[in-house]
Structure 1
């Protein structure tokens, strides 16, 4: 059992890495980290003493040139001092960047940080890996800070107009792919001092924006699941969905009524998948699990139910009270554990759609109570 500590555990990459490692608790134990440790050298020393591996993610991405450089170097130097004071030499994994070749404060700080940690490793005969990482995108990124993808997603879902400042071609890595690569480094897959990670895809900024605008037009405005052409499209769509405010749901589609009864369109989609239904007895709860990639839609067409969601790692619960007499649908974001409870006196009939066929060997279903 490897004890793994993550500096910057509460940040964008740190959150995703933590959730990924939680799925592999038979191999790793996560040593809790708090940002205040960098304000108390003794606490930082006690933290590293517990670790077999330290993933150093803590860094400043945006700010004045002097502040970015000074902050990132200070964090590396504090980590080294804690390691030396502890007399302990865990495997240190440093998150560097493809920007380390550029002459900007962030790039220089990553280049110098890698040099300082490599020198520490050589002095202490320790294992050290520098990961050269492309531009990272994924759910819950911080707009105007983590990536242009996060900024565009936030703007498009909050009635703002995105602007392209430089239409560069960006090598992009999906944060789940990055978390998986870091886990492989922790497990010893790479015996190299520096590893350049491959991008998930490369796209021009204008192409990214155009695709996200299509998601907005199809999904937010017309309630159509767009055509998703492969894993990158699905990752980008799930990233986009993570920026939609919870009060967007439930959505009440138009009901067409005549003397025969009524009809309503529950799902319009362009990406395949499967449809299924369940019957739930009064007082019964189904679910209590989350998905890492699946897109899923719930529609109660009979009975009264409560759909509850909670983002993994958070305490706040979202609730949707739905009834078959007023058809509506709720889409389930990734990383949100969810369940549905029959709160009425008759059976609840729920229609489900997911964008991929169920695979018992890879169900993408992880159990955790809401």
Structure 2
């Protein structure tokens, strides 16, 4: 069992790191933040086999606090280890701003130097991570993350401010950060030959494109069109956006089109992968009796009993496929076959449908013909 100390454990990166560490049976996690006393810090530091030092100051009331919160706290932690002859590996979460000549950057550089000096003097592994903008769940909006602030505001239809739409930001995803941090703890000592560590990948995006993508996520509830999620960045950004939804607004209603057959509702539409819809059909009712030149579909009955029928449009034998909600069976609907689905049971029929293209009322590619 390895005992791990995480300072800044209740911050953005800390919460995500702790959540991953807590899943491991070989790790005991001790958490420290600004509410804990220096005595508690000493108690935990002396128990730790590895220290993630994530605590720091980046939005103080005055610039003098940068050195106190970043260098001072770091040096106090190192002094505890030195005074008790503890040689504990330390991973320091720093910032790419450590390269800049401003109060925050200077304080981060000073904290880095203190950790590096400790590692060299005590011959112990230290890991300095200079992070760019990190995004993901649990980052505080209106603090120091454009992604967090814009996700929060846009999900609530609060206006955002874009000073330079063409400006480009470099982002790293929180899961990649956590994975890299844990790999450093688990990895060989040879990693210590690297002075400054980075995350395996980052994403660069213009502010105007970031705004457009987040707005598209919001409007998808009305249009049902989910914009492209083909890249990892887009998938990560969508997950991040959803994590900022107001807790009283997780749900949204679909339009149900009722008629004498039951109802039908569109669920999800995509730009390149078609759409999904669902229907409820009364006993004895038939849907369909049409065919397509190019459009294809999949039918999946999830409740009730039905028969799906096919016939080539030129005529010929009628094909029948019995289906029911007890044994899920997907039925492919090829082009050139007129087809129908009939509720053959005594209860309502619930069916999921997928079509490979969005419905276009100007070119529906749907032609009536009884099976």
TM-score by length of 2: 0.69
Structure 2 contact 257–264 (Cα < 8 Å) conserved: yes
Compute the displacement of 1:211 (Å): 1.5
Structure 2, unaligned runs of 5 or more = 279-301, 304-346, 355-371
CA distance in 1: counterparts of 2:138 and 2:353, whole angstroms: 25
Does residue 127 of structure 1 match 2:125?
yes
Structure 2 contact 264–277 (Cα < 8 Å) conserved: no
Match of residue 158 from structure 2: 160
Q: How many residues align?
A: 284
SS at match of 1:253: coil
SS at match of 2:143: coil
Distance 1:126 1:270, change over 3 A: same
Summarize the alignment of residues 1-370 of structure 1 with structure 2, pairs less than 5 Å apart: 1-23=1-23, 25-37=24-36, 40-63=37-60, 64-167=62-165, 168-189=167-188, 190-191=191-192, 192-217=194-219, 219-270=220-271
CA distance in 1: counterparts of 2:45 and 2:277, whole angstroms: 49
When structure 1 is superposed on structure 2, of 251-260 and 147-156 the one drifting more is 251-260
Distance 1:271 1:228, change over 3 A: farther
CA distance in 2: counterparts of 1:178 and 1:44, whole angstroms: 24
Structure 1 contact 177–200 (Cα < 8 Å) conserved: no
Distance 1:252 1:220, change over 3 A: closer
Distance 1:165 1:138, change over 3 A: same
CA distance in 1: counterparts of 2:276 and 2:183, whole angstroms: 35
Distance 1:3 1:193, change over 3 A: farther
Distance 1:142 1:220, change over 3 A: farther
Compute the displacement of 1:275 (Å): 8.2
Compute the displacement of 1:223 (Å): 3.4
Q: What are the Cα deviations for residues 113-151 of structure 1, in whole angstroms up to 9, with x where unaligned?
A: 000111222232222111111210111211121411111
Structure 1 contact 61–145 (Cα < 8 Å) conserved: no
Compute the displacement of 1:60 (Å): 1.6
Distance 1:252 1:221, change over 3 A: closer
Compute the displacement of 1:31 (Å): 2.4
CA distance in 2: counterparts of 1:273 and 1:129, whole angstroms: 47
SS at match of 2:18: helix
Match of residue 281 from structure 2: none
Q: What are the Cα deviations for residues 264-308 of structure 1, in whole angstroms up to 9, with x where unaligned?
A: 22332347599899xxxxxxxxxxxxxxxxxxxxxxx98xxxxxx
CA distance in 2: counterparts of 1:173 and 1:212, whole angstroms: 17
Structure 2 contact 95–129 (Cα < 8 Å) conserved: yes
Distance 1:271 1:35, change over 3 A: farther
CA distance in 2: counterparts of 1:199 and 1:185, whole angstroms: 16
Root-mean-square deviation (Å): 3.1
CA distance in 2: counterparts of 1:31 and 1:230, whole angstroms: 36
CA distance in 2: counterparts of 1:101 and 1:352, whole angstroms: 55
Distance 1:20 1:350, change over 3 A: farther
Which structure: larger Rg? 2
SS at match of 1:264: strand
CA distance in 2: counterparts of 1:159 and 1:220, whole angstroms: 13
SS at match of 1:185: helix
SS at match of 1:94: strand
TM-score by length of 1: 0.69
